Each structure stands twice: as structure tokens, then as C-alpha cells.
Amino acid sequence: MRIDILTLFPESFSYLNSSILKRAQENGLLEINLIDIRDFSLDKHKKCDDYPFGGGAGMLMSAQPIYDAIKSVQDDNSFIVFPSPSGEKFNVDIAKELSKKEHLIFICGHYEGIDQRIIDIFSPLEVSIGDYVLTGGELPTMVIVDCLSRFIDGVISRESLLEESFSSNNLEYPQYTRPADFKGYKVPEVLLSGNHAEIERYRKEQSELITKKRRPDLLEKIKN
Ligand code: 6GU
């Protein structure tokens, strides 16, 4: 999959070039390009924002640089995403859908937002990562790219995907690694027993307890 990220702040994306996503790119499973929207500004000072018509707080990103940046990467297989607090709520189902696309273009808004005509012209998928407002679309873009990348074949192991939180509408059980005793805090006996049926039963029980306590809404979702 190819992902083109259009942003005024390409330097903020180093996270996508570390750890698991770095390896995915080295293995050719994923190609992530950062495109600096400022490079497309036709203004002599490379200006990319302006005051909103009708007044109001702050600045808006102008249509022209974003339009030309999109046109420079868009082809027939492109799917455009615009992270925005006004979008539909991002979740694992959206991540799975996005992971099947051949080419994704992310538009990172900043300041008070972007000129509505970009949305009218390109009809991007608008998604929010939660009920709070961030200063720009850069962090949400990283969240969405990280999450969808895990569903691309070969990026992480199949087992990791199956066991994790939300794949079964349950939160994940607690995990431990060596040593078995850390400052007097002991790993639950059952995990040292080698009895796989018992271990599985214990984990399922823990999973359900934690979900009941923290996210009862997830259990409601299974019933309905
Ligand atoms: Cl996608 N963008 C911004 N700026 N704030 C957000 C968000 C997105 N999702 C939640 N808050």
C-alpha cells in the first residue's frame, strides 16, 4: 500500500519511521510519503492560510495549495481521508476497510481548519479519533495510519491481531514476562503451570472481568 500524507509539518511524522512501521516499509509492505503542502503554494511568501470569510477566530488553510498537492499524487485508485473533529468516529472497522485500499491520501488540517471547497471537490472520508479537539490533523493521521497498517498482511503476526483488544469486543488480559518474581510481585501461578487449557480459561476470565469493569458498553455491543 502507498500512503501520501499532505501536511504543513512533515517534520512531526518521525514516529512512522520507527519500530514496526519502519520495518514494514523496509520490507516493501508499505510506502509512506510526506508531502509538504507549502511546496505547492503559489503565493510569493509561500503563504498557505488566510482569514475566514464572515469573520471568526483564527486562520484557515487556503484551498489552492491543498488542491494542487492532492492533484500531484491522486490517481484512479486513490482514496482520500481528512481527519477532522467533525468526522465520523474512527474505529477498528474503518481501519480494516482502509487497510484494503491500494493508495491513501491523508490531508492534515491545521489552525481552525481547511477551506470547505476542498471537501466539496474531493469528498474525502472525514474521521475523528475522539471527542476532544487537537491542534491539527497530524497526530490523528499518525493514529489512523498506525492502526490500519496493523491490518496489512505481514506487518504484524496473525496471532497478535487475533488476541488483541476489540477484535473480540473484550479488552486484553494482563501479561507478564520474566522474572516470575519482580520486587515481590509474583506472576499468577496458572501462567507458570504449562496447562494451556487452564491458561486460556484464566485469560478469558480476566478479559471479561476487565471489560465488565471498564467498558461495559462493549459487552452490550455483543448482546445487540
Ligand atoms: Cl481527526 N483532528 C483534530 N484536529 N482534532 C481531533 C481529531 C481530529 N479527532 C479528535 N480530535
**pLDDT tens profile 1-27:** 999 999 999 999 999 999 999 999 999
Cell 507478564 locates to 176
Q: Which atom of ligand 1 is nearest to the CA of 129?
A: 9
Give the end-to-end CA distance of the chain in Å, rounded to a whole number.
35
Superfamily of the domain at 159-223: tRNA(m1g37)methyltransferase, domain 2 (1.10.1270.20)
pLDDT the model gives residue 223: 63
Helix/strand/coil for 87? strand
* CATH 3.40.1280.10 residue spans of the chain: 2-156
Asked if pLDDT for residue 205 goes beyond 70, the answer is yes
For residue 191, the CA-to-ligand 1 centroid distance in Å is: 40
1.10.10.10, 3.40.1280.10, 3.90.1150.10, 3.30.70.120: CATH of 2-156: 3.40.1280.10
Task: Judge whether residue 222 has pLDDT over 70.
Answer: no
- Mutation pick for ligand 1 pocket among 7, 12, 134, 146 (CB with most ligand atoms within 8 Å): 134
Helix (H) or strand (E) holding 20: helix 19-26
Q: Closest residue (by CA) to atom 3 of ligand 1?
A: 134
What stretches of 21-66 adopt beta strand conformation (E)? 31-36, 49-50, 60-61
| β-pair type (125-128, 31-36) | unpaired
Measured CA to CA, the distance from residue 106 to residue 4 in angstroms comes to 6
Say yes or no: CB of residue 85 within 6 Å of ligand 1: yes
Q: Does residue 84 have its Cβ closer than 6 Å to ligand 1?
A: yes
CA–centroid distance, residue 36 to ligand 1 (Å): 20
The pLDDT tens digits for 20-51 are 999 999 999 999 999 999 999 999 999 999 99
The answer to whether the beta carbons of residues 180 and 186 sit under 8 Å apart is yes
Instruction: Tell me what pLDDT residue 147 has.
Output: 98
Is the CB–ligand 1 distance for residue 134 below 6 Å? Answer: yes
Which ligand 1 atom minimizes the distance to the CA of 84?
A: 1
Mean pLDDT value of segment 180-200:
98
Q: pTM for this structure?
A: 0.94
Q: How far is the CA of 109 from the centre of ligand 1 (A)?
A: 9
The edge-to-edge listing of strands for the beta sheet with 103-107 is 31-36, 2-7, 103-107, 78-89, 125-128
What confidence tens digit (pLDDT) does each residue in 136-188 have? Answer: 999 999 999 999 999 999 999 988 888 777 767 899 999 999 999 999 999 99
**CATH 1.10.1270.20, the chain: domain bounds:** 159-223
Among protein residues, the one whose CA lies closest to atom 11 of ligand 1: 133
